[in-house]
Every structure is written in C-alpha cells, then in structure tokens.
Amino acid sequence: MELIQKVRGMQDIFGEYQRYFTFLKKVARHEFRKNGFTRITTPILEHKELITHSTGESSDIVTKEMYDFLDKKGRELVMKPESTPGVMRAYLENFLAEPQPVYLYYIEPHFRYDRPQKGRYRQFHQVGAEIIGEQDAILDAKMIYTMAAILDGIGLAGKYKVKINSLGIPKERERYILELQGFFENKKHLLDETDLARLEKNPLRLLDSKNEDVQELMKVAPKITDFLKKESLDYYMQVKEYLDILWIAYEEDSTLVRWLDYYCHTVWELVDGSGRTQDAFGWGGRYDGLSKSIGWKDAVPAVGFAFWAERLIEAMMESGVQLRNKDAIQLFFIQLWDDAKKLALPLSIEARNKGINSLLSLGTPSIKTQLKKANRVNARYVAVIGIMEAKKWVCQFKDMEKWTQEEVPLNELISKTIWLIGEENLDFYHPSKDFILTDGVENNSQGNHVNSLS
C-alpha cells in the first residue's frame, strides 16, 4: 500500500513557514486590538444559500470553486470560500443590540476548488476585518489605514501601493453599466469568449479583463466616477481627505471595481506593484447592500477588507524579512543511563522556568547520536551528563559555536547559561500574564514579560 499523500491544493504548515504565519497573525492581532476590533470566528460550514445569495449565482466562486455537499438530512452546505457573508450573518444574529458600529476581525481558513498556484491554495487563510452598523467615510479610510499598518508591521513598508476608486450608489452604477455595454456594443469582435460572457452577464467584470485589446479600450471607455452625483462625489472626496490626514499615499484607479451588486462607494486594493495577474495583497470596500442580499429586511452599512495570508508570507520571505526564531534551543541536555536522566530531567524543567529554551534528549542512544541531534536542532550549548558526571554532580558543558568544552557543577549550570545567553534573551512569556486577573489585579506571577513568537 502506498503512503496516502495530502490532498492536492492543501499544505502542511510547519517550520519556517509557520513562524512567518505566526508572526503575521501576531502583528495583525496587535493592529486590530489597537484600532478597537474584537475577534470573531464563524463556522467552516455555512448554508449554500448564504454564499450564492451574497456572491452571486454566476460568480466563479459559485459556479466553479465551492466545496459544496448535502448533509445527512439533504441540506446543501458549503465550506466557506470567504468570511464576509458569514460575519454579516453573525452580526444580524448576535450584534444588533450592541453599541454600533461593531468592529470585528478574523483570521480564518477558507476553501475554494481553484487551480493551485504560487500563493494560492485550495485551503487558504484570510486576515480580515469588518465594521458594521454605520456609514461614514472616516471608517473607509480607517480600514485602509489598518491594512497599511499591518503591511508596514510585517516588514513590507514601501513594497505596496494603495489603489482606490468609488462605485457610488446602485443607481449610479446601473447608469454606468448601460454606458459600458453601449461602448462595447460595436467592439464585440475584439472580445474573447470569456469577455463576451462578461459583457452579457456582468459588464463590470470587463474591467478585470486580461485581454490586451480590452485593457487598451478601457483607457478610453467611460469611467464610473463620471456618473457619480454630488453626494457620492462628496463621500469619495471625504475618504481621500481622511487618507491625506493619515498620510496614506494612494492612486486613483477607475478600473478598480467590485462586480457584486451590494458594493457601493469606496473600493480599494493594496498591490505589490509587480503588474502580475495576481498582484493584490488584499482588497476591501463598502458593502451596504449585503444584508439585504442574504435576506435581511434593511440595508446595513458595512465596510471591510481581507488579506491573502499566503501571499503576505511569501512576500515577507521574498523581501528578506528575517524573524527571530523563538524556538531556537539554547541549552540541550544529553544524558546516559538512569542516574543521569534523574538529574537531567529536573534541571531541564528548572532551565525552562528560568527563561532558558531547553530540550532534554530522551531515550538511551549513544552520546554520538545525541550530539548529532543537538546539531540538528542548532543547540547553542550542550550539557552532557554521563555515568561519571552523575556521580560527581557535574556535566561536560559544550559551546557548539566555539567548539569548547569545560566541566561545570550542576548547581552552577543554570546561572552560567543565563550569563552566557544574556538575561535579555530569556523568555518568561505565559498567556496567563496577559489574560488572567487575580482579585481584579493583573497576574504578574510569571516575571519579566518577553513576547513570544510561538
């Protein structure tokens, strides 16, 4: 029987990649907390209608990419391809009585049966946020600012551009769509099969066309901003004014749209500037009509954004962002036989409690084998406790970088290691310090707080 492999388009996340992912999540959580967001996790499974009604029956997600199935009672379910519809559903079910607007963020896995390629997987992760319950241009600008702060925080400052546009309100967009259809009516011979279908079903998608003829035509085609009335233009102007106040540089891009009916006013993307087909780190927009599309009686003002986590991780790696490895082993214990184990075990625990990242070699292999393991995990120092060392209560202390060795009493081993690695490199982090209150007072029992990337 052959070994069963992972499902195509999925990935195992571990090692260096996991460290970048953890770093991204920590930076994002930090920025979200600073800006008033709280975390929400919505179910992996949603009713299929939630996605079809929000994303559209003719969208690629619905027609080609959804993981959908019938449950044992014949209900149509889907593994969520995006989070915004689920967050809006959760808002309508749980948050209407809360102070408005509601600030929510998520870091979630999603699923699309798409062609696997660089930075795109069938199980992928999005880092996103929604502000629901109020319409104000300052909220749109705040979202763009938060996105920029996350990219800057993960080391991508100066490596992205902000593009913005306005869709106005539905009536204005409808007038624009009619003009766009009229513009292309006598140019259908330049459209391929895909774009002809877009012209028929959803003309706004022509603005995303990769056909070079269409891209050239879009330079002289009607622009949606030409169809905005005063109120929409004023709203768009306010967004830009707030971005200027926040020192967020941006480019206006009249081809930037969202083709779903519930989007309105501001839309944006943060792109890497490469010009590649998939150049967006993340995108966002105002979607005041989503609530009605999923069955609520009224429009609920909302604005949100999402990043592709995998694209950000690969961008960090390609940009040379170096992360401190909080899993690096500072002290590795090698032991031979039971007497040595009985000494090494409490010492390794004490080392951890004193902030040293230590690891105890278990089992009974030879010293040679254990030294190879110490090298494999890149241990900085090694304490060898053999039969004779156990009797004398000492160890052979090895510096793995300088290739030196000396005999050290076991009661001095911890203090010597701390002196060598430096107190500033000790790790006393424990979640209880951040979260548990004791009699209304923060728990400081864990000593100095050094942030961990684990």
CATH of the domain at 47: 3.30.930.10
Judgement on whether residues 432 and 284 belong to the same structural domain of the protein: no
Q: What are phi and psi of 29, to 5 degrees?
A: -60, -40
Q: Which of 266, 297, 318 marks a domain boundary?
A: 318
Pick the last residue of a domain from 318, 344, 378.
Answer: 318
If asked whether residues 301 and 355 sit together in one domain, one would say no
287 and 406 share one domain: no
Residues 112, 233, single domain; the answer is yes
State which residues form the domain around 46.
Answer: 15-168+228-318
What pTM does this model have?
0.87
Co-location of 276 and 336 in the same domain: no
Choosing from 318, 352, 384, the residue where a domain stops is 318
> Each residue's pLDDT tens digit in the chain (454 positions)?
899 999 999 999 999 999 999 999 999 999 999 999 999 999 999 999 999 988 876 677 777 889 999 999 999 999 999 999 999 999 999 999 999 999 999 999 999 998 887 778 999 999 999 999 999 999 999 999 999 999 999 999 999 999 999 999 989 988 998 988 889 888 888 888 888 888 888 888 888 778 888 888 888 888 988 999 999 999 999 999 999 999 999 999 988 887 777 889 999 999 997 766 678 899 999 999 999 999 999 999 999 999 999 999 999 999 999 998 888 899 999 999 889 999 999 999 999 999 999 999 987 688 899 999 999 999 999 999 999 999 999 999 999 999 999 999 999 999 999 999 999 999 888 787 777 776 655 554 444 433 333 3
Say whether both 160 and 266 belong to one domain.
Answer: yes
Query: Based on C-alpha coordinates, what's the Rg of the chain?
Result: 28
